A and B are shown apart, each in its own frame.
Chain A
Amino acid sequence: MSAISVTVNGVVHELDVSPRLLLADLLRDRLGLTGTKIGCAMGACGACTVLLDGEPVRSCLLFAVQASGRRVRTVEDLASDGELHPLARALHEHHGLQCGYCTPGMLMALVSLLEAGKPLDPKAAREAVAGNLCRCTGYEGIVDAVVEASRVAGE
Chain B
Amino acid sequence: MKPAAFAYLAPESGEEALAALAEHGEAAAVLAGGQSLIPMMNLRIATPGMLIDIMRIPELCHIRRAEGWIEIGAGIRMTKAERESGVPLLMAALGHVGHPPIRNCGTVCGSVAHADPAAEVPAVLLALDGEVTLRSVRGERVVAANDFFRSYFTTAREPDELVVAVRIPDRSRRVAFLEATPRLGGSTGEFATIAIAAAADRDDGGRFSRVSLAYAGAAERAIRAGEAEAILVGSEPTPALFAAAAQAAGAAADPPADVHAGAEYRRRLVERLTRRALEELAA
Contact = CB atoms under 8 A, between A and B. Distances in A.
A42 B39 CA distance: 4
A47 to B, nearest CB: 11
A65 B5 CA distance: 13
A20 B39 contact: no
B2 A22 contact: yes
Given A2-B8, A61-B38, A130-B188, A56 B104 contact: yes
B53 interface: yes
Interface centre among B5, B42, B99, B102 (most CB of A within 10 A): B99
Contacts, number: 84
B6 A130 contact: no
A56 B38 contact: no
Interface centre among B3, B38, B79 (most CB of A within 10 A): B38
A61 B8 contact: no
Interface centre among B6, B39, B189 (most CB of A within 10 A): B39
A90 B74 CA distance: 41
Interface string A92-132: 00000000000000000100000000000000000100110
B139 interface: no
Contacts of A62: 34, 38, 105
B206 interface: no
A46 interface: yes
A143 interface: no
Interface in B172-194: 187-189
A20 B188 CA distance: 30
Interface residues of B, number: 30
B5 A131 contact: no
A78 interface: no
Interface residues of A, number: 26
B4 A131 contact: no
Given A46-B101, A66-B53, A109-B101, A55 B79 contact: yes
Interface in A53-110: 55-58, 60-63, 65-66, 109
B246 interface: no
A56 B98 CA distance: 13
Nearest to B39: A42
26 contacts: A18-B5, A19-B7, A20-B2, A20-B3, A20-B5, A22-B3, A42-B42, A43-B35, A43-B39, A43-B102, A46-B101, A52-B104, A56-B104, A58-B101, A58-B105, A60-B42, A61-B105, A62-B34, A63-B8, A66-B53, A109-B99, A109-B101, A130-B188, A131-B98, A131-B99, A131-B101
Given A62-B38, A65-B53, 10 more contacts: A19-B7, A41-B42, A46-B101, A49-B101, A56-B104, A66-B31, A109-B99, A109-B101, A127-B188, A130-B187
Interface of A: 2, 18-20, 22, 25, 41-43, 46, 49, 52, 55-58, 60-63, 65-66, 109, 127, 130-131
